[in-house]
Amino acid sequence: MSEQRITVTTWYLEQASAGELVAAREPGDEVRVARAEVPSPEFSRFLYSAVGQDVTWTDRLVWTHARWREFLERPGVETWVAYERGTPAGFIELDGGRPEAVDTVEISYFGLLPAFRGRGIGGHLLAYGTARAWDMAGRWEGRAPTKRVWVHTCTKDGQYARANYERRGFRLYRTESEEQPVVPTPGPWPGA
C-alpha cells in the first residue's frame, strides 16, 4: 500500500524594520498578553498541542522533556501568551536565540486555541508579539538590536494565517511547494 501524500505550499514572510508593523485593534479589557518567563516544557507542550491540534502541528510532539527544556532555556527564546479572563487563549513563540543570526528573530509558532479564534485576539497577539521581537534586545543582555523578523506558514496551518501576517505588515519573500506524507494529527489527548 502506498503512502498518502499531499502538496504543501510554504510561504516565508518578513519585516525589515519595526516601522513595518501594523497595529491591530484591541480585543477588549478581558484579554491580556504576558510573557511566560519561567521555561516550562509542560506548559509549552500544552500550548503547542492545544493550538496545533487541528492544523497538523506534529513535529514537536516527539520532543522529550529534555529537548523542550533545552530549547526554552536558550537566551532569546520567548513565549508570550494571550489570556482571556485568566484562561490561555493562544501564544506566540519568538526564537531570537540562533547564534548564526544574532539580529534576527523568527516567529517559530503562533496561534490560538480553537475556541478563541475569530474574535480579534489573533491579530492583537501577533502585533504584540511582533513588537516584542523588535524590542527583544532590551530584555537580553548583550543581544544585538533586531534588524529582521520572519515567519513561515503553510497550507497545513489555519486558513487565515498568511492573511493575518500580511495585515500586520509582513511581506512575502519566498514560496516553496513540496510533496509531504499525510500525518495524522492526534489532537491534545487520545480520542480528541
Q: 176 in a domain, yes or no?
A: yes
Per-residue pLDDT of 3-16, as tens digits, reads: 888 888 999 999 99
The answer as to whether 189 is a domain residue is no
Number of domains in the chain: 1
Q: Is residue 90 a contact partner of residue 112, using CB atoms and an 8 Å limit?
A: yes
- What per-residue confidence (pLDDT) applies to 39? 95
Chain centroid to CA 16: how far? 18
CA end-to-end span of the chain? 27
Do 133 and 94 touch, CB atoms closer than 8 A? yes
* Residue 97 lies in domain: 5-181
Q: What single DSSP character describes residue 140?
A: S
Give the span between the Cα atoms of 145 and 143, in whole angstroms.
Answer: 6
Is 188 inside a domain boundary? Answer: no
CATH number, domain of 167, equals 3.40.630.30
Residue 70 lies in a domain: yes
C-alpha to C-alpha distance for 146 and 115, rounded to whole angstroms: 33
Q: Tens of pLDDT along 90-127? A: 999 999 988 778 899 999 999 999 999 999 999 999 99
In a domain, 40, yes or no: yes
Inside any domain, residue 191: no
In a domain, residue 84? The reply is yes
Query: Is residue 146 a part of any domain in this protein?
Result: yes
Degrees, nearest 5: CA angle 132-176-120? 40
Confidence of residue 32 (pLDDT cuts 50, 70, 90): very high
pLDDT digits 0-9 by tens, 137-190:
999 998 999 999 999 999 888 888 999 999 999 999 999 999 888 876 665 555
